[in-house]
Structure 1
Amino acid sequence: MAIYHFSNQIISRKKQQNTIAAAAYRSGERLIDERTNEEKFYKRKVKPITHILAPSHAPQWVYDRQRLWNEVELKEKQWNAQLAREINVALPKEISKEEQEELAIEFCKHVFVNNGMVADLSIHRENEENPHFHVMLTIRPFKEDGTWGNKQVKVKELVDGKEQVKALHTTDWNTKVKLIYWREQWARYVNHYLEKNGFSERITHLSNKDRGIETLPTIHEGFVARQMQKNGRESDRIHINQSRKEYNKTIIELQEAKKEKQRIERTEKFVRRFTPLEKKQLRETAKYLRMFVNYENINIRKLQLEKWQSRIEFQNDSIDKHKKLSRIEKETDILKQAEFILETEANRFLDKYYPKLNKSELTKDQKIEVVDITVSQNQLLNTNDIEIVCRELEKKQIEKDLNILLNNRPKFVLALQQEIHNDGIRFEQLRLKSGINFAEPNSIKNASEKDLNQLQFLLKQKENMNKSLELMNQLYDYHLSDMYPNWERRNYLSIEEKEFFVMAEEYYGKTITPEDLSYTPRKYSIEEQKEIISYLYCIYNNKVESNHDDRDDRNYELMRNKYPDFQLHNQSYKQMFYYECMKYKDEIGQDTIDQLQRIFNVQPYENIEEIQPDSFSNTIPNSKLISSNGFDFFSILESAIREADRKWSEDEFEQRNKKKKRQKGMDR
């Protein structure tokens, strides 16, 4: 039976909400918050169907989900700014999935987009019994020239003879009348689709009270009817009254249940609850630091203070230096106090709404994140959701540690491996030069202090680089465990081979399956490849000639607008694009391929045999090591899978032999 559900909420900074996180949660996409350089991602079992719909006068960049909501966050300056509107709507189960999608798009276009809003639509079907869609809407309008307009305008008016300034909304999107109109239109659209598909069910936006639902009056029974009932005979009048009484009882019970449900919803709405003293302290913190106090901003400010302190500690002693250090110390104490308040409130929240949750197993970050998501979504998280939140935070922490290096993973790993190797050579050369033999303590005593310090430095440096390499390996493991949860042999891949699988997943937007190895997928057509190479070549030339950031290049903007999914600053993604182009180089043409190779600074080789698939077991993919003839990327994946299978088989064989030996020892 078709049901009516149409809820409306405002996403705002006042409620400590963030549109990047909200859009990532609803769309299932990985989005970067450009203010903090943090990745927002919430893994979903069923990938949502997403669309961005916009009026004709909106700029082209609104179709890039990441840029759209980053622009909103950038434009809104107020601490309590309304960032976006979200509508949550139930789809009728009676119609097909294709028609559900068509219905959602048609409704959003006619009701929201034609009224000037940009609509970010996400259809969720994780529960087949509850198909629904979320649509995030811009609150600030666009002008006809594609620039942001004003939400309000200030006008002067006379009140009791005095001139007062009044703020008027430039649109009617925030009015109750408009909301009622949207609710009414949704019922009309759904009923139209139900009717054209032959269903008799209808939905309405009206409440029970507006619809006039009430109990039925009984009729007069009379003496004769009661006497018939007393003598064991059936009376139609008494039967009618009994039926009506049962109906009325059901209606009353339903009304009471509805009232109780509303009461529970009112009392159990998830909100942050601070004590009066805590509120006062947070207000004072916000005033002193001149920032909106939340956990994210506290961490950002702490990092800024650490960097500031490290810079001025090396300055000569002076009154100015001591003043700055004193200010840093004071701000650090204030931030610690605010952080303590947020953690205390989070613990209270979890005690109330998650009484069975073992808080001791969660870090401070994880507890606060669980609270933030609960308040943002206004619903309790299940055990699996909490595990996902904790896992994502652990992954995010690793990504923070590697921060700016993530967009160039292969080069970073290769550089680490090379530097570790070079440090090993330098260490051995210095040891031999100093005549040190670690088996003979006297040789160490005879070495100079300078040489010993240098050896110690090289050892420490190697240790730190190995830790960085291990962090990168953990990051790959997190990616692969999400991609292939049931493939245990993934643990036998080398760090270089793991990168290949992650590269492919980022590029194609899906996990590579055995079918893809037989029938290799293709992301861009020949014409698209040619056009992208042309854009990249222009960006490359302008950057070389004028030595400026490619973001300042007009071709960069054209590229972003035409191909918003192309990850221009992800070296692995561009590497995959190179591989795909080389696979079709005969169709693309030599001139265009020459441009491609110049962009990637490829060193040509005479023979393709110079780089064989097996050689990549020890070499991270690097543009300067690619043959100009290219190679079959998917043969590399096959080779990696075979190697992992071989290692797994050898390990299994060895384990079985050890088990047999232990068993024989026990038998004896």
Structure 2
Amino acid sequence: MAIYHFSAQVISRSSGRSVVAAAAYRAGERLVDERYGKTYDYTKKDVAERAIAAPDYAPAWVKNRELLWNAVEAAEKQKNAQLCREINIALPRELTARDQRELLSLYVLEQFVARGMIADVAIHRDNPENPHAHIMLTMRPLHPDGTWGAKSRKEYVLDENGEKIKLPSGQYKSYKVRTTDWDMPETLETWRAEWARYANRALERAGHADRIDHRSLEAQGSERMPTIHEGVRVRQMERRGIQTDRGDVNRSVAEYNGLVVSLEAYRKEKDTLERKTSLEAPIASVESKEKQMAVLLAKAKEIKSKVERIDVDLQQVKERLRYYGEQQQRIADRNRLDKQIGELQQRGRGLLGLYNKNSKEIAELQRKVERLDERIQEHRTLAPSNREAVELQAQHQQLEQMKKELSGQFFAVRNKVKQLEETRQEKTMTLREAIYSLKDKATGIPMRYNQDDLDKPFEKATFSNRGGAEQLHYRLQDGTERSVLFQNVFMDRAQRSALFDVFSAAASAASKQLQRDDEARQQQMKKKRREMER
């Protein structure tokens, strides 16, 4: 399943970071930082591909990674300067390495380089399940002569006479004007949306049905939950087998999202089946619906028996947990009494006169402790240990979840039975009714037809008029195909209407009989369902 990930960050000097060190780490190279006099060697890092893209007018030295980022460091003078913008993108793992490279190259050239930025791109494939790219972008425009332009410029506010406005501090009132739109929130949102468009186009060309969406899960109307960022250290700990809080959160989210995806797939399948059922309702036989209802009723009965077994297990677990809670409370009471005895003995030793008075309270507390010890000993065999209690609580939660899921399945099956009962009441058109429905459409009257087929329901019927010859071609539910021929016979409107009314009256009588039969079957099925629910 293709995933969407697009994150942006600014590497700044205020956080103690070096853009040369960042470039060396992303590209897996050995670079010398001239500003700090350090060498960063990440040549052992597994980097699949690396490249630098620049505008056509840029000088050749910008393609040298060490020269480029040392020049960026030298151009920034302030201690809190923003050095570069980094974009981290997840590449669709459904694509081949070549398709991923072509997709990323096209996106970088059209979205970043075309705006005047220099892009240092590195593709990481150390984890086959997570191919991704790091794109480091310059934040100053570069002139053709190799000099850096300004990120912004100062403009002064003028009064009605066109003069600068002087402030009490002696400075003139001014405001900052950006020279580019690279750090605008709207631009970042455009980049995010464009990546989704580029990636989906590549997936479509490669013949994949998966698509990605740059919008948040909430904006998409999805019930899935977003995962949290784990970071390098957490991933290293997880690979060594050390469970972390962030890893546990993401595992829980992944499990929840799996259920949501399954639920969404079930809903889609349900909608498809409902649409199919609504289209095929006039031609579905009563016998097939009764078979479906019989299967669903059997399944509901099986689910109900499972729920009953889970209720028994839950009751046993709750009973053991109750013993455990009572035992823990007794132990806590005993510890509290021991503490009170110690305090009273300490006070009594300090004040000899009060010792005799406190000794009675001490003796009473000691008797309570002895009684608690006896009860703790009596219930030791019944109450589980701490480890067993933890396992019981986990078992209790698991059983509650199973019961909840089975209850949901039971009600889903029961609702399906109700739907089938309702759809079974829908009227199936017979050949006689079809002929009557052509009263205002056909110019002739039915002359040649099979008398035995008039009150049989049909699966499909097509009325055609070719060269003045009208016919109704139909297929019965047993697969038999025949035709009703219409012939133009001289008769007035009243005679023609009376002829079709004969078909209508007979069809009405047959329909009422079918309705009575359906009501009888419905009452019988309701009775069976009530017996099952009991």
TM-score (structure 2 length as normaliser):
0.41
**Relative to total residues, which structure has the larger strand share, 1 or 2?**
2
Q: Highest CA radius of gyration, 1 or 2?
A: 2
**Relative to total residues, which structure has the larger helix share, 1 or 2?**
1
